[in-house]
Amino acid sequence: MISRDSPRLRQPATSQTQTLATIFTMTIGFQNKDDMSQILLLTFIVISFSVSGQTRTVTGKVIDEYFENLPGVRIQNSDTIQLGTTDINGEFKIEIPVMTDSLLFGFVGMEWTPIKLTPDCDRLEIIMMVYVSYHDRSSAKIDRLRKKRYDNLDNIHLTAFNKGQFLQKKPCYTRDFLEHKQSLDKIERDLIAEQKRIKDLFEKMEIGDTVKIPYSPNDNYDGTKRTFLFNWSYVSDNVDFKCIIEGVILEKDKRKKGYNITYKVTNCEQCKYESLVFNNDNMTVGRVLKHNMKVFKVLEQ
């Protein structure tokens, strides 16, 4: 049974008592108010330093909404400094300063999970929500669906307790529902702006123009010295491209609602890798390729 007593402090109380007693002894005989003020200030500093140097042990377990243990979950403080990770059973044990009042749990495919600690909460049992992509739903609708799942977390917690996964009937920390509407609306605005930029760029292009297309290189992909190239998504905000292929536009069209260009490769010098391969064929000067700007990135001249 996990103890619910206050966490054990790592710095012995006797050393704190001795320090304070020494300071108190120093104050005896001081009549000057300035001297007394300096001693009191020193006392405050020592006490503050003493508290900041104390730590407590926090243990816990992390699962998802479907009662699966989550190994490798990253545990961070408010400064995003990693404090530990969960083991293969989703269990963890970390040392944190007693002043720490919040933690952040992160895992691939899951929503970030921030929690607020209470002083006597030394056993954390966390349920992470699966990150779901709600296609063709408004940001408000997405948050309503997420809130419904969030409201069910207490029932999941109790079920996990009854199944023996958790040791507590309910969590001892606090956790707030964080709406995604604002960030989703910003993403939508950014996408609309990027789509307009791509449309304007496509309309401006003419047959015979030079086009620059970035690729992501993956060398030793198949155990050989060949370098396989992959297209960048049009939504990528990367600016440091390791491979750029130049070509001349031969054709352009909007078939299947795309912004399609056909180009002939004219320059591979900005892709300094051995044996370039794209779509299982060598990427060399003279090769003719099709590229949908509505899906894949094109650099502006």
Strands of the chain, DSSP E = 55-64, 74-76, 82-85, 91-97, 102-106, 113-116, 123-128, 210-219, 227-231, 243-253, 260-270, 276-278, 281-282, 288-292
188-239 tens-digit pLDDT: 788 888 999 999 999 999 999 999 999 999 876 667 888 999 999 988 887 8
CB 83 within 8 A of CB 148: no
252 & 287 share domain: yes
Claim to verify: residue 84 and residue 113 sit in the same structural domain: yes
Same domain, 132 and 165: yes
The answer as to whether 130 is a domain residue is yes
| Pair 164, 81 in one domain | yes
Tell me the average pLDDT across 83-105.
Answer: 94
Q: Is 84 exposed, middle or buried (0-12, 13-18, 19+ CB in 10 A)?
A: middle
Lookup: tokens for 276: 């370039």
Residue 190 lies in a domain: no
Inside any domain, residue 191: no
Residue 2 within a domain: no
Where in the sequence is the domain holding 205, given as residue range(s)? 201-292
Q: How far apart are CA 156 and CA 115, in angstroms?
A: 17
Q: Same domain, yes or no, for 149 and 225?
A: no
- 61 with 160, same domain: the answer is yes
pLDDT confidence of residue 31: 53
Are 167 and 261 members of one domain?
no
Banded pLDDT at 1 (limits 50, 70, 90): very low
Tell me, yes or no, whether 106 lies in a domain: yes
Cα distance between residue 55 and residue 258, in whole Å: 58
Q: In terms of pTM, does the model score above 0.85?
A: no
Is the domain of 167 the same as that of 82? yes
> pLDDT category, 179, cuts 50, 70, 90?
confident
Residues 246-266 have pLDDT tens digits of 999 999 999 999 999 999 999
Do the Cβ atoms of 153 and 127 come closer than 8 Å? Answer: yes
Residue 63 shares a structural domain with residue 157: yes
Same domain, yes or no: 130 and 228: no
Written as one string, the DSSP assignment of 193-235 is: HHHHHHHHHHHH--TT-EEEEEEEEEETTTSSS-EEEEEPBTT
Q: What is the pLDDT of residues 267-285, one digit of tens each?
A: 999 998 888 999 989 999 9
φ and ψ at 161, to 5 degrees? Answer: -65, -45
Residues composing the chain: 301
42 and 111 fall within a common domain: no
Number of compact structural domains in the chain: 3
> Is residue 258 domain-resident?
yes
